[in-house]
Structure 1
Amino acid sequence: MPQAPKEADPLLISYLDAIVALTCQREAHGLTASLIDSLCQHVQAERFRLLAVSHLNNDSDFDENNIQGAVVRDWLDPLSTPIPIRHDKDLLACARTKDRISRKIPVTGGRRLVLPILGVSNVTALLVIEGMRELGSEDGVLARLVQIFSNQLYLLSRNELDGLTGLYNRQSFDERIKHLVLNAGHDERRARSSVAAPHNCLALLDIDHFKMVNDRYGHLYGDEVLVQFARLMSHSFRHQDMMFRYGGEEFALVLVGMTSEAAVPALEFFRLSLEAYEFPQIGCKTVSIGVAGISPGESVDTIINRADKAMYHAKQNGRNQVCCYETLVARGKLAPVSVITGDIELF
């Protein structure tokens, strides 16, 4: 005789329903907002924060031995100012031990709880609950909720990553660049109200003569070049910059808070680092880079096309160099890329 099903936890049912929809849309931010909303409804506390944990050099392979070099930032705001984790002993202890940290606040009488969100093997985020009372029956629900969130966040991140290099993949690039272009319009309106608006730019990077590597040494060595190239990118740029494998031997990079002209020295630093790096059996490789600004009111295709034109100008004029679209246009070395709106072509 079949047993009667146990009464399901309403919190978990509503949260799992949200996960199904959000997983299909691959919206990690929506998933996070759902977690915070559920916590607000079912756990009595003054404040909930989800903090992303990362290294300034984008090296995700940190452990308890070098966790002090990590930074935390607001998960829902990738442009928020990073704060060194060593400045908060609770966060540092949680990230190091992977255990939850609970501490009573003498002044208020409330409690601060820090919970780890685990990735493959390390802590990728920290859930901070402040001003809460002692946990009773809520404790089990909270633990299950965090575990579900960790599992689903891991699946979402796996779908966004390139399997070979570990950078974001092309599909993730398409989604994130659209989001940045839309936000550029909000930033412009914010600038009009006397608040400084951040600038962003897009760089496309193409490894010079990469086909020669595959033809001469085989695809196994070609894959190793791609892996090491991605690792050099991760160590050369900041944690807030977004790195993608755009396709084949081509990579994309969004430099946050930088105009295309200001990004040239950072890109030049990477170009020189690559030029000096010796790949096993192959020796040195070089890269051609094109960069263009991300401006409000323009299509994603237009911005990509501008960076692409600048990159091809670099390849057609000697390779192994960084070319800025805006600078090339100003100097008359490159024709402006047209902006197509409906049937009207604007220049």
Structure 2
Amino acid sequence: MLLPDLNSSLNHALQSLAAMTGQRDRELLARTLVATLSELMEQSVITLYRLVGDEAILVAQAGTAIPPDQIAEPSIIISDRLEFKSVIDSRCESITSLDAHTTSVTIPIYGQQEITALLVIITNANFDQSLSLPRDILTIYSNYLNLLDESETDTLTGLLNRRTFDNNLEKMLTECTDAEVQKIEINSHSRKPPSSELPHWLAVMDIDHFKRINDEFGHLYGDEVLLLLSRCMRRNFRQTDKLFRFGGEEFVVVLDRTCEVDASKVLERFRTAIECYDFPQVGRVTISIGFTCLNGKDDPSTLVGRADQALYYAKEHGRNQVCFYEGLIAEGNLTAEHFTDDVQLF
């Protein structure tokens, strides 16, 4: 049921909203939302899932006492949960009676016109009455996510922007460091590492002779090339990969955990896809790519500098190719350099 003192509930809700909208980290924002709703509703279990492809990934769960049968799984195939599929298909809430006293409500959360998450509330209260304030909070949460999207994405392509990359790279490196520690502690005798132990990869890419495209065809067609290339990126990379536009003709991809061979194959596949794509009016366009392994021991300037150096090697040796920094070092084609915080990408 809703907390009995309405004024106290509203004051608490306002404080929670202030806490939510005061942060930009989406994971922390989501956990704050779940914790807030859990405090506002007694005898309820609140669970938030993020949608990634055909899966619903657990973000956070809270409740005063979560029964064993209501503990959320880390990931769920959407087609295996009828209420999830119903919400996504109908774009409406799904309400299910679990028993005579318990109701489950699945609510869609939107980001840039698409359903990006699902909130599940299992409550023993009258859900119409108890969900009035939580629904309002969810609306504010969704609106705030849209504001974050607008500030974190590039206007033309819709990809994440340079500022977002700068703000998140250190977090990615910290996660890599944590993974390295876990790798030592867990499964040290495994012959084949699980995907959670595989590294991330940073790739920088640049459109070859882009200035020539702008000079010959005009900036309108140049912008069309950038837009179409960004769409190709979304088609060729996984939803768990992070795609950035740095401005101009420069792009960055952070590949989710995979092995070196597969990282190289993915990037080569994308390079080939661009080479074979028929850009209207412009025709053939190619890209050069340099990539490196994300190592939690590196600082951001070192990481970007390595990928940048591999990119310039590709540019100076014929363009339209993918070059791996660590491979170039091992072959003696590059000499390792020290990069400082003053390094500038491109």
Please, what TM-score do these two structures have when normalized by structure 2? 0.85
Map of 2:31 onto structure 1:
33
Map of 1:123 onto structure 2:
115
Query: CA offsets per residue over residues 6-44 of structure 1, 9 Å max, x none?
Result: 96822331123113422xxx2222221211111111123
Matching residue within 44, 56, 78 for 1:72: 56
State the 1:259 CA deviation.
4.1
Query: CA offsets per residue over residues 35-87 of structure 1, 9 Å max, x none?
Result: 111111112355322222244xxxxxxxxxxxxxx4322346xxx97644222
Which range is displaced more, 115-124 or 323-332? 115-124
Say whether the 8 Å CA contact 2:13–2:36 is kept in structure 1: no
Query: CA offsets per residue over residues 241-298 of structure 1, 9 Å max, x none?
Result: 0000022101000001024443000100111111100000000101100010011211
Query: CA offsets per residue over residues 171-213 of structure 1, 9 Å max, x none?
Result: 1111221111111111111011024523101000101111111
Say whether the 8 Å CA contact 2:159–2:243 is kept in structure 1: yes
Map of 1:138 onto structure 2:
130
> What is the Cα-based RMSD across aligned positions, in Å?
2.3
Say whether the 8 Å CA contact 1:241–1:253 is kept in structure 2: yes
Which range is displaced more, 168-177 or 120-129? 120-129
Q: How does 1:192-341 map to 2 (within 5 A)?
A: 192-195=184-187, 197-338=197-338
State the 1:332 CA deviation.
0.6
Match of 2:127, SS state, is coil
Map of 1:52 onto structure 2:
50
Match of 2:131, SS state, is helix
For 1:45 and 1:270, the matched residues in 2 are separated by: 50
The letter for the 2-side match of 1:264 is S
Match of 2:234, SS state, is helix
State the 1:145 CA deviation.
1.1
For 1:324 and 1:290, the matched residues in 2 are separated by: 6
Map of 2:67 onto structure 1:
none
For 1:153 and 1:101, the matched residues in 2 are separated by: 22
The change in CA–CA distance for 1:157 and 1:232 in structure 2 (over 3 A counts) is same
Say whether the 8 Å CA contact 2:52–2:240 is kept in structure 1: no
Match of 1:279, SS state, is coil
For 2:324 and 2:282, the matched residues in 1 are separated by: 29
The answer to whether the aligner puts 1:43 opposite 2:41 as a matched pair is: yes
* Structure 2 residue runs without a partner (length 5+): 1-5, 61-72, 188-193, 342-346
Map of 2:152 onto structure 1:
160
Say whether the 8 Å CA contact 2:31–2:59 is kept in structure 1: no
Say whether the 8 Å CA contact 1:260–1:326 is kept in structure 2: no
For 1:166 and 1:244, the matched residues in 2 are separated by: 9
For 1:215 and 1:236, the matched residues in 2 are separated by: 29
For 1:282 and 1:340, the matched residues in 2 are separated by: 38
Map of 1:186 onto structure 2:
178
Which range is displaced more, 331-340 or 269-278? 331-340
The change in CA–CA distance for 1:83 and 1:230 in structure 2 (over 3 A counts) is farther
Q: How many residues align?
A: 316
Q: Please identify runs of 4+ aligned residues in structure 1 that moved more than 6 A.
A: none
Please, what TM-score do these two structures have when normalized by structure 1? 0.85
Matching residue within 102, 108, 118 for 1:110: 102
Matching residue within 157, 170, 177 for 2:162: 170
The change in CA–CA distance for 1:176 and 1:82 in structure 2 (over 3 A counts) is farther
For 2:254 and 2:149, the matched residues in 1 are separated by: 18
Map of 1:87 onto structure 2:
80
For 1:325 and 1:17, the matched residues in 2 are separated by: 45
**Identity of paired residues, percent?**
33
Query: CA offsets per residue over residues 148-189 of structure 1, 9 Å max, x none?
Result: 111111111111110000100001111221111111111111
Say whether the 8 Å CA contact 2:301–2:339 is kept in structure 1: no
